[in-house]
Amino acid sequence: MTLDEAFLREEILKLKNQRRAIILAHNYQRDEVQEIADFVGDSLELSRTASAIDCDVIVFAGVNFMAESASILSPDKTVLLTEIGATCPMADMIHVDSPRWERKSFPGFNNPPPFIYPVEFTLRDIKAQYPGTPVVTYVNTTADVKAESDICCTSANVVKVIESLPDERVICIPDRNLSMWAQRNTKKQVIAWDGFCHVHERVRPADVKKAKAEHPKAILMAHPECRLDVLEMADHVTSTSGMLRFAKASSEKEFIVGTEIGLMYRLKKENPDKVFYPLRKDMICPNMKKTTLKSVLIALKENKYIIKVPEEIRVPAKRSLERMLDVR
């Protein structure tokens, strides 16, 4: 640890105690940010922690939809997002009533399969097309989209959430890969949206073949935001914390990790006797990496960036999140 880092850590801990604050960090955060956090986890675990925790301030080291979820579930607490520019491009691929994303900004990603709704549409368009069909919304969405939905899901519980509904058909937004993975694992009909995560979408079967050839004994774990042709080659498909649990419980010694490389830190730390290889070294989410120790300190010191969801959106969005949290 450098002197600078030691100083930042000390200041953060001092302020954290003074302000009765809790630091929540996503599994993709920088190593040193994970190290200073009180809780590190996947989206589902962090939502659960945010709703249950006793504190005055939640400092969220992640991306904006995660801090919004914390604010939705804990309106009486001050929720701070460590970097205001930390967004999730996938969350911006769907909007309630006016499209806000242009396909041409991601060249090469312009051939949606015909059964998937193109992102030039809006959530209200797709709802009008399938009246009465429930909308299952990945937590990687903005608060207004959650408010317009029936229930939320994460990568860890999407199939359980779909199965919990009485309907035989569901609309699942916005990640086409997660939706196709859900379709593969349920008999119900899943209507998908054409959103994607640029970090996971870039992985191709050729990358899997290369990694498996380089590490023939390794088990491949992949996040359901990867393409279906990649998921079909994986040994285990699960959320980020699902990978942590799987690797710990497994008697295998080598693993290829098909998700953002920030997860490698906990995988290695919690399994010192095992070896982990990234599926692709460039699986880096630039938005997750915006937060540094300095951002955490400034957040606590200057009380920024406050994330507060307006009541008229918060109340229906909370209903969607709570319905998800009730699914066991």
**Of 229, 203, 224, residue with least CA distance to 158:** 224
Closest approach of ligand 13P to the CB of residue 131, in Å: 30
Taking phi over 0 as left and psi of -120 to 50 as alpha, with beta for the rest, 132 belongs to left
Q: Bridge partners of 78? A: 57
Q: Which amino acid is at 30?
A: R
Residue 211 interacting partner from ligand 13P, ligand SF4, none (CB closer than 5 to 8 Å by kind): none
Residue 186 interacting partner from ligand 13P, ligand SF4, none (CB closer than 5 to 8 Å by kind): none
Backbone phi and psi for residue 75, each to the nearest 5 degrees, phi listed first: -65, -20
Give the nearer residue to ligand SF4 in terms of CB position, either 15 or 284: 284
Which one of residues 42, 92, 148, 150 is an interface residue with ligand 13P (CB under 6 A)?
42
Cβ proximity of 71 and 307 under 8 Å: yes
**Of 150, 168, 202, 187, residue with least CA distance to 319:** 150
Which one of residues 71, 122, 137, 155 is an interface residue with ligand 13P (CB under 6 A)?
155
Closest approach of ligand 13P to the CB of residue 152, in Å: 11
The beta-strand segments (E) located in 226-270 are 236-237, 254-258
Give the nearer residue to ligand SF4 in terms of CB position, either 8 or 283: 283
Closest approach of ligand 13P to the CB of residue 233, in Å: 19
- Count Cβ atoms below 10 Å from residue 105 Cβ, excluding itself: 8
Give the whole-angstrom CA distance, residue 214 versus residue 220. 12
Residue 89 interacting partner from ligand SF4, ligand 13P, none (CB closer than 5 to 8 Å by kind): ligand SF4
Give the nearer residue to ligand 13P in terms of CB position, either 89 or 134: 89
End-to-end CA distance of the chain: 41
Q: Tell me if 239 contacts ligand 13P by CB under 6 A.
A: yes
As a residue count, the chain comes to 328
Token pair listed for 322:
């709570």
Give the nearer residue to ligand 13P in terms of CB position, either 64 or 155: 155
Residue 182 interacting partner from ligand 13P, ligand SF4, none (CB closer than 5 to 8 Å by kind): none
Which one of residues 154, 177, 179, 292 is an interface residue with ligand 13P (CB under 6 A)?
154
Closest approach of ligand SF4 to the CB of residue 62, in Å: 8
Cβ proximity of 230 and 211 under 8 Å: no
**Of 257, 281, 259, residue with least CA distance to 268:** 257
Q: Tell me if 197 contacts ligand 13P by CB under 6 A.
A: yes
Residue 239 interacting partner from ligand SF4, ligand 13P, none (CB closer than 5 to 8 Å by kind): ligand 13P
Local structure of residue 278 (DSSP, 8 states): E
CA-to-CA separations, 205 to 13, 88, 202, in angstroms, rounded: 44, 25, 10
Residue 154 interacting partner from ligand SF4, ligand 13P, none (CB closer than 5 to 8 Å by kind): ligand 13P
Which one of residues 8, 12, 22, 27 is an interface residue with ligand 13P (CB under 6 A)?
27
Give the nearer residue to ligand 13P in terms of CB position, either 8 or 258: 258
Positions that interact with ligand 13P (CB under 6 A): 27, 42-43, 140, 154-155, 197, 225, 239-240
